A and B are shown apart, each in its own frame.
Chain A
Amino acid sequence: MSTLVIKNLHAEVDGKEILKGIDLKISEGETVAILGPNGHGKSTLLNVIMGHSKYVVTKGSIFFDDIDVLKLTTDERARLGLFLGMQNPSEIPGVINSDFLRAAVNAKSEKPISTYQFYKLLDRATKELKMPFDLATRSLNEGFSGGEKKRNEILQLMLLEPKIAMLDEIDSGLDVDAIQVVADVIREEQKKGRGFLVISHYARLFDLIQPTRAVVIVNGKVAIDGGPEYIKRIDQTGYEFIKTELGIEISKEENNMNTVSIGSCAVKESIK
Chain B
Amino acid sequence: MERTIISNKMSNKFTLESSDSKFFLLYLNNYSEKVELTVSNNSNVDILILNLHDDTVVHFDVLDNAYLHVALLDHKSTKNFKISANVGLNSTFSAHFADFIVGECKGEVLVNLNKEGATCDWHLASLTEKNDKKEFDVSVYHNSPRTFAQMDNYGVCRDEGRLAFSGICQIYKGAHGSKAHQNAKIMVFDRSSHGVAKPILKIDENDIEASHAAIVGKINDEHIFYLTSRGLTEDEAKRLITLGYLKPILNGFVDDDIKKTIEDLIEGKM
A residues with a Cβ closer than 8 A to B are: 50-54, 73-75, 77-79, 83-84, 86, 89-90, 92-96, 99-100, 103-104, 107-108, 139-140, 156, 160
**Contact assessment for A95 and B232 in the assembled complex, using a CB-CB cutoff below 8 Å:** no
Chain A residue numbers with a CB within 8 Å of B223 are 90, 92
**Contact assessment for A103 and B240 in the assembled complex, using a CB-CB cutoff below 8 Å:** yes
Answer whether residue B258 sits at the interface, using C-beta atoms and an 8 A cutoff: no
Chain B's closest residue to A95 (CB) is B244
**Which 6 residue pairs spanning A and B have beta carbons closest together?**
A94-B244, A107-B231, A95-B244, A78-B231, A104-B230, A74-B228
Chain B residue numbers with a CB within 8 Å of A99 are 240, 243
**Contact assessment for A92 and B229 in the assembled complex, using a CB-CB cutoff below 8 Å:** no
Q: Which of B206-239 contact A (CB under 8 A)?
A: 220-223, 225-234, 236-237
Q: How far is the CA of A86 from the CA of B222 in the complex (A)?
A: 11
Chain B's closest residue to A104 (CB) is B230
**Contact assessment for A78 and B229 in the assembled complex, using a CB-CB cutoff below 8 Å:** yes
**Contact assessment for A52 and B241 in the assembled complex, using a CB-CB cutoff below 8 Å:** no
Q: Which residue in A51, A89, A103, A139 is a CB contact (below 8 Å) of B232?
A: A103
Answer whether residue B245 sits at the interface, using C-beta atoms and an 8 A cutoff: yes
Q: Tell whether A90 pairs with B220 under 8 Å between CB atoms, given A53-B225, A100-B240.
A: yes
Q: Given contact pairs A94-B245, A160-B231, enumerate 15 new A-B contacts (beta carbons under 8 Å).
A: A53-B221, A74-B229, A75-B229, A75-B231, A75-B232, A75-B234, A93-B244, A94-B241, A94-B244, A95-B227, A99-B243, A103-B240, A107-B230, A107-B233, A139-B244
Q: How far is the CA of A111 from the CA of B12 in the complex (A)?
A: 55
Answer whether residue B247 sits at the interface, using C-beta atoms and an 8 A cutoff: yes
Chain B residue numbers with a CB within 8 Å of A93 are 244-245
Contact sample, A vs B, 14 pairs, CB 8 Å cutoff: A50-B225, A51-B229, A73-B228, A74-B225, A78-B228, A78-B231, A83-B229, A86-B229, A90-B222, A94-B244, A95-B243, A140-B244, A156-B230, A160-B230
Interface of A is mostly: mixed
Q: Tell whether A84 pairs with B227 under 8 Å between CB atoms, given A95-B241, A95-B243, A107-B236.
A: no
Chain A residue numbers with a CB within 8 Å of B226 are 86, 89-90, 92
Q: Which residue in B232, B244, B246 is a CB contact (below 8 Å) of A96?
A: B244
**Contact assessment for A107 and B225 in the assembled complex, using a CB-CB cutoff below 8 Å:** no
Q: How many A-B residue pairs have CB under 8 A?
A: 78
Q: Tell whether A78 pairs with B230 under 8 Å between CB atoms, given A92-B223, A94-B248, A107-B236.
A: yes
Chain A residue numbers with a CB within 8 Å of B221 are 53-54
Q: How far is the CA of A193 from the CA of B240 in the complex (A)?
A: 32
Chain B residue numbers with a CB within 8 Å of A75 are 228-229, 231-234, 237
Q: Tell whether A52 pairs with B248 under 8 Å between CB atoms, given A75-B234, A107-B232, A108-B231.
A: no
**Contact assessment for B248 and A79 in the assembled complex, using a CB-CB cutoff below 8 Å:** no
Q: Which of B222, B229, B234, B248 has the most CB of A within 10 A?
A: B229
Q: How far is the CA of A128 from the CA of B249 in the complex (A)?
A: 34
Q: How far is the CA of A139 from the CA of B236 in the complex (A)?
A: 17
Chain B residue numbers with a CB within 8 Å of A100 are 227, 230, 240
Q: How far is the CA of A107 from the CA of B223 in the complex (A)?
A: 17
Chain B residue numbers with a CB within 8 Å of A96 are 244
Q: Which of B225, B226, B236, B247 has the most CB of A within 10 A?
A: B226
Chain A's closest residue to B185 (CB) is A93
**Contact assessment for B236 and A103 in the assembled complex, using a CB-CB cutoff below 8 Å:** yes
**Contact assessment for B229 and A84 in the assembled complex, using a CB-CB cutoff below 8 Å:** yes
Q: Which of A83, A95, A104, A156 has the most CB of B within 10 A?
A: A95
Q: How far is the CA of A53 from the CA of B219 in the complex (A)?
A: 14
Chain B residue numbers with a CB within 8 Å of A90 are 220, 222-223, 225-226
Q: How far is the CA of A156 from the CA of B241 in the complex (A)?
A: 18
**Contact assessment for B244 and A50 in the assembled complex, using a CB-CB cutoff below 8 Å:** no
Chain B residue numbers with a CB within 8 Å of A74 are 225, 228-229
Q: Which of B221, B240, B246 has the most CB of A within 10 A?
A: B240
**Contact assessment for A94 and B243 in the assembled complex, using a CB-CB cutoff below 8 Å:** yes
Q: How far is the CA of A21 from the CA of B50 in the complex (A)?
A: 62
Chain A's closest residue to B248 (CB) is A94
Question: Min CB distance, B221 to chain A, in Å?
Answer: 6
Chain B's closest residue to A139 (CB) is B244
